[in-house]
Structure 1
Amino acid sequence: MEFSPFNPIVKLCLQGMELEAQNNFEKALNTYTQAWNEASNDFEKYLSSYYIAKLQEDKHQKLSWLESTLSFALKANSPAVNTALPSLYQTLAKCYEASGELDKAKEYRTHSETHRCSPSDNGPFYHGTRADLSIGDFLVAGGKSNYQSNLKMNHIYFTALVDGAGLAAALAKGDGVERVFMVEPTGNFENDPNLTDKKFPGNPTRSYRSEAPLKIIGEIKEWNRRSPEEIQKFREKLDNNKGEIIN
């Protein structure tokens, strides 16, 4: 399954996060539990159980929900969850240590280090824009941010999710046509730190950035386009986000 902010379970998790920010933890837990009950695949179960685990006060309940989260993450076996494994194993290690199960804590810390590596995503990769570009062109760092117009970006950003690139194209500045290009990194790349381990565990949006150029190798004509109303609501949420961009 591919991550989407428009997925009903993801939406419920986002609602739960907003309730947490308002210190309404009981209602947040109820919302996460609703997400868990309505989840229909391993990824959705993994995501909802992760947030339920965060709000558990009883250490045994917390450990149980974290183990459930890990179980569904391993079942999903997807780039959308694999980036969360290092921090998930580390959290479990701390819980086992607090429970006095030191051998288990050591085992999970070893797993955490084993999974801590550079992105292993093989793509294909996409970049959404309104710029008039062609196959064979190169996308380079140094452009203005779509979210802070006075900020010159030190990296070029891309994703392995075609719908994510389509959303980026819809949100891009300018009056040009929304376009999604298939791109090929020409150098090393890293998880986008503006998204990774922020609201969601790991890098479920499979968003990356590189200082090296991206070569355009194709163009995608079909993706899941959102309605103007959905795009406007998403843009308003971004406008209300005052967080600093990691550049």
Structure 2
Amino acid sequence: MSAALDEGPFFHGTKADLRVGDLLTAGFRSNYRPEILMNHVYFTALPGGAALAAELAAGEGEPRVYLVEPTGQFENDPNVTDKKFPGNPTRSYRSAEPLRVLDEVEDWTRLPPEELAAWRDRIAALRADERGEILN
């Protein structure tokens, strides 16, 4: 199934300080609904999408973007594909299996403070709206 989705390269944004060879796994709290433990690890083929995820990630560390590879099957992220956008224009995916860190991306663009604040406001509105469910 996943071979036809996208050939990558793939990226993951987080505040975790990772090393080449580390595995990103499911089982962590959602950045958008912290009361939910996620059954999948999420990634994208768009560096800008990973940059946004890094900026919005929970935690105290510095936002980081990593080049990653899925270690198993993956699927379109149903939280943004078809549910919100026809097809998969964000090239967003998820996997129940780990992602392997291949490298840290050093040259990604940080969001301007006002844009980051607007995204955080959107996330807060999602948390307040019971209909803003996460497909886990």
- Give TM-score, length-normalised by structure 2: 0.92
- Give TM-score, length-normalised by structure 1: 0.51
- Tell me whether 1:204 sits opposite 2:89 in the alignment: yes
SS in 2 for 1:224: coil
Matching residue of 2:13: 128
Matching residue of 2:41: 156
- Tell me whether 1:219 sits opposite 2:104 in the alignment: yes
C-alpha separation in 2, matches of 1:169 and 1:192: 17
137-146 vs 195-204, greater mean Cα deviation: 195-204
Shift of 1:162: 0.6
Q: Deviations over 1:180-231 (max 9, x none)?
A: 0000100000000000012321111100000110000111011232101101
Contact 2:78 2:135 in 1 (8 A): yes
Shift of 1:136: 0.7
User: RMSD of aligned C-alpha atoms?
Assistant: 1.2
Runs of 5+ consecutive residues of structure 2 not aligned to the other structure: none
Contact 1:162 1:223 in 2 (8 A): yes
Contact 1:163 1:225 in 2 (8 A): no
Report the structure, 1 or 2, having the larger strand content.
2
Percent of residue pairs bearing the same amino acid type: 59
C-alpha separation in 2, matches of 1:209 and 1:194: 10
SS in 2 for 1:141: coil
Contact 1:139 1:213 in 2 (8 A): yes
C-alpha separation in 2, matches of 1:123 and 1:189: 12
Equivalent residues, number: 131
Contact 2:5 2:75 in 1 (8 A): no
Matching residue of 2:78: 193
Report the structure, 1 or 2, having the larger helix content.
1
Matching residue of 1:244: 133
C-alpha separation in 2, matches of 1:200 and 1:191: 12
215-224 vs 185-194, greater mean Cα deviation: 215-224
Runs of 5+ consecutive residues of structure 1 not aligned to the other structure: 1-116
Matching residue of 2:28: 143
Contact 1:139 1:214 in 2 (8 A): yes
The structure with higher relative contact order (CA 8 Å, sep 6+) is 2
C-alpha separation in 2, matches of 1:198 and 1:120: 17
Amino acid of the structure 2 residue aligned with 1:244: E
